[in-house]
Amino acid sequence: MRAQRVWKVNGAASIGQLQSRLDDLNKRLSQLENQNPENWKLEELRSSALRLSREIDDIRCAEATAALSELLRK
């Protein structure tokens, strides 16, 4: 049975670009938490950070699966 790609990368974003965006989000979260822990934007930023980290994980898993499939094919 052949593996099928079931994920799509948004635009031409690489893992490095996504990781950089995640790092920026985490910095903003930290700043907001220090300024005002009750800020309503914190949940929105946390949610964005989680989505971004899941996207990075999906890409890494897909790359690992592709590499493993290539090894198994040989």
**9-23 pLDDT, tens per residue?**
544 468 888 889 899
Q: What is the spatial distance between Cα 64 and Cα 46, in angstroms, rounded to a whole number?
A: 27
Report the amino acid identity of residue 26.
N
Half-sphere exposure of 62 (CA within 13 A, CB side): 14
Which pLDDT tens digit goes with each residue over 8-62? 554 446 888 888 989 998 898 888 888 887 777 788 888 889 999 999 999 889 8
Alpha-carbon span 22 to 73, nearest angstrom:
35
The residue behind tokens 């490095």 is 16
Q: Say which residue the tokens 């094919």 belong to.
A: 73
Q: What is the pTM of this model?
A: 0.64
Q: Domains of the chain: which residue ranges?
A: 37-73
Determine the Cα–Cα distance for residues 72 and 74; give it in Å rounded to an integer. 5
